[in-house]
Amino acid sequence: MSELESHRIVFAEFELDTARRKLYRDGRSVTLYSKTFDLLEFLAEKSGTVITKNDILNRVWAGQFVEEANLSVQISALRKALGESKDAPRFIVTIPGTGYKFVADVHNPGDTPDQESRELAARDEEINKLAAGRIGESRSDQRYALFAAAGLGLLILFGLAAYRYFSDDQEKRIDSIAVLPFVSQNLNSGNEYLADGLAESVIYSLSGLPELRVMSRNSTFRYRGSEADAKSIGLELNVQAILTGRVVQQNDNLSVSAELVSANDNSVIWGEQFTRKMSDLERLQTEIAEAFSQKLRPKVINTGIYPADRPQLDNPETYRLYLLGRYHLNRLTDDDFRKAADYFQQVIARQPNYAPAYAGLAESHHRLSGYNAVSPHHGFPKAREAALKALELDPTLAEAHATLAAVKHLYDWDWPAAEAEFMRAIELNPNSSDTRQTYGFYLSTLGRFDEAIAEIRRAQELDPLSIEKIAGLGEVHYLRRNYDQAIEHYHKVLDMEPNSGFAHWATGRALLANGKYEEAIAAFRRSIPLSGDSPDERAELARAFARMGRKEDAVKIVDELKRMSESRYVAPVSIASIYGELGNPDLAFTWFDKAVADKDFLLVLLKVDPMFDNVRADARFAVILRRVGLPE
């Protein structure tokens, strides 16, 4: 049959409401996973027609690379929901070697009320009865009467749901949420950053709500393309609700269907559809966040997600450039940091008063220096300048405070000012896992290990699937000289990501400090091919060789690092530490002096890192400590 124009499709005892994305069986809701619903919708639209597996994959998983096994899993789940089996199909017939055929008698119900409207009418009648006969009997009845008197229509349904889920008198309140990557239903591959950007912006917007714990993008975006349901995701991330979104582009309109799903029973708590012109993209993400926050926390309705006077971008092309900047920033490679900086610069050129673009530019330059892609003098001052400009335009921008804190810590060595900026950033956005981790690193460089562990554990709660957060706990234990505990955390990372060059490198450092030289060398050798052209792994291998007495091998690597420094930045501290292991303190402190001149950020580790132990007794070490602003 031809594709149905109505949003309702009826077959046998089932009613499929494609507008509300619900399936009913004899009037009762049937729970379907998102992809299972998409599959049923497509099959029902093409009822009576043989559909190839490729056609289904291209429709249901548009723009994604998935294996055919995913389709088999969803067909099985759909058959189970419809009460049939492969051997005794009622609706879905397998066409061997080709695909599937939906054989139900599908029809359009015409003008008959849909299931949700029938439920609403019944509920409305019930409410009116309650209002007429029981006003004043109890607090709950008074609320029902007010709803009836107001005649709020569809809002009555939501009012009851909100009363059940979100009332201040209700013990079961949602205080934690994960925003999954939005599904781009018909965006081409070149525009998928729009869906990512909308989801990321909603995450950031919701993170400002003080009583709501919002999972980090790093953890939630791992579920891209996943068929896991809200219940299993909620269990893994330890959250009470999952926010999902589907993005559809229709000419110059963009439609986003957002749903809040309970992680307790997969029920839909709240849903709303937002349709705006492409020119209103920035406002669209704000409206989604504000609508959700109002439903979840009635007390913050009047506070707003953003300050009222924060400028909005003036045209869709500028917002597109901003989203591209965020997209590349989150890809975490040197080239992408450079691309991100370029996009943010373009946004600033178009609209110089847009603070988030300066904050993004600041973070791009900070990461370039923090990843040793450029020298500290090249990246950190630019990061500081952009962060200060962002805060001049908007003092409440948490990410700008966080970047400024990192610059004051790693480059300016202004320790009190750095901590003040970290605290301000966390005050403005308590849900930023990255800020909490970098603050934890700051605390560990001062030897405040208990506080550091508390912060990084909090970061891990917000970002439980992040290998960076797990490794961060390992780093604190390493600096605290709890090497076995450090290795335990690094091994957890390797269980999740066996090809993590960083985890192999970090494991090697802990093994080296613990006197297990051969194992350390093996770990460093595994890390080198996994880490690109990074000099850090080679430097640690050289230290291990020197510790074992293989001085020629160590010197060979030092010479290689010096040649490498002619074409890219190599941290002078790395070379200084090798000369310290080789028993040449004069050369070591020559390179320490160069590190101070270069503002090598590894110097913030002088007080705590075991790699400096063999030069701590030298009087010149105390001088370096003072120059960095660290107590002796």
Superfamily of domain 312-424: Tetratricopeptide repeat domain (1.25.40.10)
Mean pLDDT of 78-101: 85
Q: What is residue 164's predicted lDDT score, i.e. its pLDDT?
A: 41
SS3 for 91-133, per residue? CEEEECCCEEEECCCEECCCCCCCHHHHHHHHHHHHHHHHHHH
SS3 for 380-408, per residue? HHHHHHHHHHHHHHCCCCHHHHHHHHHHH
User: For 262-293, what is each residue's pLDDT tens digit?
Assistant: 888 888 777 777 776 666 665 665 666 566 55
pLDDT of 210 higher than 80: no
Q: Which CATH class name applies to 8-107? A: mainly alpha
Question: 431-518: which CATH number, 1.25.40.10, 1.20.120.80, 3.40.50.2300, 3.40.50.300?
Answer: 1.25.40.10
Residue with the larger pLDDT of the pair 178 and 172: 178
- Nearest of 484, 478, 421, 399 to residue 445 by alpha carbon: 478
In this prediction the pTM is 0.63
Q: Are 199 and 215 in contact (CB under 8 A)?
A: no
Residue with the larger pLDDT of the pair 517 and 2: 517
pLDDT of 543 higher than 80: yes
Q: What is residue 618's predicted lDDT score, i.e. its pLDDT?
A: 93
Highest mean predicted confidence (pLDDT) among 1-5, 57-61, 226-230, 566-570:
566-570
**Lowest mean pLDDT: which of 95-109, 261-275, 334-348?**
261-275
pLDDT of 339 higher than 80: yes
Please provide the CATH number assigned to the domain covering 176-300: 3.40.50.10070
Highest mean predicted confidence (pLDDT) among 261-275, 497-511, 586-600:
586-600
> Which residues are bridge partners to 24 per DSSP?
15, 29
Instruction: Please check whether the two domains, 176-300 and 312-424, share a CATH topology.
Output: no
What gap in Å lies between CA 379 and CA 367, rounded to an integer? 8
Average pLDDT over all residues of the chain: 79
Domain boundaries, the chain: 8-107, 115-166, 176-300, 312-424, 431-518, 533-632
What gap in Å lies between CA 290 and CA 287, rounded to an integer? 5
Residue with the larger pLDDT of the pair 494 and 227: 494
Mean pLDDT of 62-84: 72
Query: What are φ and ψ of residue 202, in 5° steps?
Result: -65, -40
Mean pLDDT of 305-326: 66
Q: Are 537 and 545 in contact (CB under 8 A)?
A: no
Among left, alpha and beta (phi > 0; psi -120 to 50; other), residue 12 is left
Q: What percent of the chain has pLDDT over 70?
A: 77
Mean pLDDT of 554-564: 92
**Residue 562: how many other CB atoms lie within 10 Å:** 11
What gap in Å lies between CA 519 and CA 525, rounded to an integer? 10
